[in-house]
Structure 1
Amino acid sequence: MTAMRLLHTSDWHVGRVFHGRDLLREQEEVLGGLADLVSDERVDAVVVSGDLFDRAVPNAEAVAVCSRVLERLRAAGARVVVTPGNHDSAARIGMFSGFAEAGGLHLRTRIGSLAEPVLFADDHGPVAVYGIPFLEPETARHRLEVPQARGHGGVLTEAMRRVRADLAGRPGARSVVLAHAFVTGGQPCESERTIAVGGVQDVPGAVFDGVDYVALGHLHGAQRIAEHLRYSGSPLAYSFSEARHTKSVWLVELDAGGLAGVERRELPVPRALATLTGALDDLLLDPEHDAVADHFLSVVLTDPVRPLDALRRLQGRFPHAVHVEWRPEGGRPGELRFAERVRDRGDEEIACCFIEDVRGDGPAERELALLREAFEAAAREGVG
Structure 2
Amino acid sequence: MKILKIAAKDLPLFNGICEIDFLPQQRVNSENAENMSELFSTPSNTFYKNNVISFTGINASGKTSVLKLITFVFGMLNNTPINSITCSEVLDGIADNNTVSFETFFFSETQNNKSINLLNTVIAKEDNKLKIVSETLKSKDVSKIRTKKALYDFSDIETNFTRDVNSEFLLDDVSIMVAFNKRNKESINYTDMLRYTNINELDISEDCPVELISFFDPSIEYLKINKEKNKSNIHLKFKSKNEMILNQFSELNRYLSSGTIKGINTFLYAIRIFNNGGYLIIDELENHFNREIISTLIRFYMDKKVNKKGATLIFSTHYSELLDEFERNDNIYIVKNRQGITIENLSKILKRNDIKKSEAYQSGLLGGTLPMYDAYMDLKNAIISDSI
TM-score, length-scaled by structure 1 = 0.30
More strand by share: 2
Provide the TM-score with structure 2 as the length reference: 0.30
State the structure with more CA Rg. Answer: 1
Larger RCO (alpha carbons 8 Å, 6+ apart): 2
